[in-house]
Amino acid sequence: MFSLKKTGTILCALTIGLSGVLAGCGSSGKEQSTSIGSTSQPAASTESSGPVQIDFWYALGGVRGKTIEDMVKKFNETHKDIIVKPAYQGAYQENHSKVLASVAAGNNPDVTMVEIASIAAFADAKVLEDLTPYSQGDEKKYIPGLMKNSYWNDKLYAVPFNRSTPLLYINRDMLKEAGLDSNGPKTWDELVSFSQKLSKKEGDKITRYGFSTPVDIWFYEALVFQGGGNILSENGKELTINNEAGKAPLELWSKMVKEGIMKNPPGENYNAWDVAEQDFLNQKVGMIFTSTGSLTELKKNAKFDMGAAFLPANKTFGTPTGGANLVMLAKSTDAEKKAAWEFMKWMTDTEQTVPWSIASGYMPVTTEAIDSAEMKAFYEKEPNFKVAVDQLQYGYPRPMAPGYKELQDVIQKELQRAMLGQATVDEAMQTATEKGSKLLKK
């Protein structure tokens, strides 16, 4: 409503003329002078004396953001020559826009979190620093199944940090009560038959659904992989979902919705995720797909025996990985890059990733962490937390293409149109392919 005036002259005049009037508006003398005085980088970072200061932008709020802040604090206490300044920058998407803007303006951070499907876009735009010279083989410590989204054109650009996979969450009490295997369905057919038995009707009204999942690109990817398909061609230049494997997920979901055994949770993007989880906790649905990142919270709030299982298989098991990686920015100075690598390495070391995983529900990222006594003891006590790690043997990278962020919006919109009956499955896949191909050619 209140538009911005671009006119530089007005702004200049105002800055000069009214600075007296608004003297109280500067945040603090120090903040003002440092930011006006320096061009883009703090002076301390270019000098060899004194600690190097680097900026780290992260994209997790709430308790998880607090944990990250605590980790950074510990890093700063143990590294006298490096000062990391952490800053929360909104969710993945907001951080994404902001990092790109800051690179254009020349005041970018040195390390940031990037959602794994966006790595290609950043690398392709030459925003990221090639990590190979820094890591020198160190990257072998990470779980191989998590590394597929770290490379672009055979160069290492990212290390895994907060990583997840989708899981099938089940209400074991409900399954037992219906006389079903309390380990959950293993195949799509079983998913359907379990859902039929779990659903309840009173008159014409469905009071309980067997299954629910947000109609989200992430779960769609999983189901396409399970049918032996792929979202993009090998070279990443073509959309390959207008075929049997691409249509099967939509056919499965819409059939289940029509039959009244699956609920299509309403809401845009993450709102639908919230609805699905809410319904699951309230025992309005028996089984849902959601991220392993929700495990801690769901476990805390469920008043029933909650279990996690592999996503059911079609031709095979299959799952994309998700979450975010840490990257280093190409525009930083050499000293900053050296410090940035120290920091990235430290954040993802076994000593940090184990407590981070236990606190957040995300997967630990090093093989050593999974074999550690602490993690093993934890998995012994909480077997649900191990499911995501086990499922990694069927893990696929998220599709890698510079335009995938826009492409996934196109696909998701068509998925929803089909689910709402505004298009047939064939039409939806046709439209998605047409629109998607245009995006990929850009």
Partner 1 sequence: MYRVVLASRKTVEWIGLLIVAFLFVFPFLWMASTAFKTMPEVRQFPPTLLPETWEWSNFAQAWESGPFLMYTWNSILVAVGILVLQFLTAVPAAYAFARYKFPGRNLLFGLVLIVLMIPGQVIFLPIYVQLSGWGLVNTLWSLILPYAASAFGIFLLRQAFMQVPDEVIEAARLDNASEWKIMWTIMVPMAKPVLVTFGLFSFIYHWNDYFWPLIMTNSDEVRTLPIGISSLHMSDGGTLWNVMMAGNMILILPILVIFFVAQRHIIKAFIYQSK
CA distance 43 to 40: 9
Q: Residues 41, 45, 52, 64: which binds partner 1 (CB under 8 A)?
A: 64
Which residue in the set 290, 319, 391, 431 belongs to the binding site for partner 1 (CB under 8 A)? 290
Considering beta carbons, is residue 64 or 337 the nearer one to partner 1?
64
**β-pair partners for 171:** 306
Q: Which is nearer to partner 1, 46 or 316 (CB)?
A: 46
Q: Which of residues 294-313 bind partner 1 (CB under 8 A)?
A: 294, 296-298, 301
Q: Contacts with partner 1 in 155-214 (CB under 8 A)?
A: 164
For partner 1, the closer of residues 4 and 373 by Cβ is 4
Q: What six digits make up the tokens of 295?
A: 């495990």
Of 130, 274, 374, 406, the residue at the interface with partner 1 (CB under 8 A) is 274
Shortest separation between residue 356's beta carbon and partner 1, angstroms:
14
How far is Cα 411 from Cα 392, in angstroms, rounded to an integer? 25
Helix extents (H) in 106-243: 119-124, 132-135, 172-177, 188-198, 217-226
Q: Which of 3, 9, 136, 235 binds partner 1 (CB under 8 A)?
A: 3
The alpha carbon of 280 is separated from its chain's Cα centroid by a whole number of angstroms, namely 22
In the bound state with partner 1, the residue whose beta carbon lies nearer, of 7 and 235, is 7
- Taking CB under 8 A as the rule, does residue 91 contact partner 1? yes
DSSP assignment letter at 200:
E
Q: Please, which residue, 62 or 179, has the CB nearer to partner 1? A: 62
Residue 149 contacts residue 119 (beta carbons within 8 Å): yes
Which residues between 318 and 337 bind partner 1 (CB under 8 A)?
Answer: 323
Beta partners for residue 85, in sequence order: 55
Instruction: Give least dist CB 3 to partner 1, A.
Output: 5
Half-sphere exposure of 433 (CA within 13 A, CB side): 16
Of 241 and 298, the one with the shorter C-beta distance to partner 1 is 298
Residues 234-273 that bind partner 1 (CB under 8 A): 270, 273
Q: Which range of residues in 221-229, 286-294, 339-347, 419-427 is near partner 1 by CB under 8 A?
A: 286-294
Give the binding-site size for partner 1 (rule: CB under 8 A).
73
Q: Which amino acid is at 422?
A: Q
Whose Cβ is closer to partner 1: residue 18's or residue 125's?
Answer: 18
Q: Between residues 98 and 247, which has the closer beta carbon with respect to partner 1?
A: 98
Q: Is 9 in the site for partner 1 (CB under 8 A)?
A: no
CB of 121 to partner 1, least distance (A): 16
For partner 1, the closer CB: 154 or 202: 202
DSSP assignments along 244-280, one per residue: HHHHHHHHHHHHHHHHTSEE---SSTHHHHHHHHHHH
What is the CA 82 to chain-centroid distance, rounded?
A: 28
Indicate the DSSP class of residue 28.
Answer: -
Give the footprint of partner 1 on residues 67-86 (CB under 8 A). 85
Distance CA 266, CA 215 (A): 9
Evaluated on CA atoms 282, 283, 288, 291, the torsion sign reads positive
Least CB distance to partner 1 at residue 22 (A): 5
Decide: helix, strand or coil at residue 56.
Answer: strand
Which is nearer to partner 1, 18 or 377 (by Cβ)?
Answer: 18
Applying CB under 8 A, the span of 177-185, 277-285, 311-319, 428-436 interacting with partner 1 comes to 277-285
Cβ within 8 Å of residue 334, ≥6 positions away: none
Q: State the nearest-atom distance from the C-beta of 298 to partner 1, in Å.
A: 8
Residues of this chain, 413-432, that bind partner 1 according to CB under 8 A: none
d(CA 403, CA 335): 32
Residue 8 contacts partner 1 per CB under 8 A:
yes
Closest C-alpha to 116, from 378, 326, 311, 349: 326
Distance CA 348, CA 148 (A): 16
Strand 151-152 to strand 155-156: parallel, antiparallel, or no bridges (unpaired)?
A: antiparallel
Please, which of residues 120-139 interact with partner 1 by CB under 8 A? none
Site for partner 1 contains 287 (CB under 8 A):
no
Adjacent-strand bridge partners of 53:
83
107 binds partner 1 (CB under 8 A): yes
Contact 46, 335 (CB under 8 A): yes
Per-residue contact string for residues 10-29; x = within reach of partner 1 by CB under 8 A = xx--xx--x--xx-xxxxx-
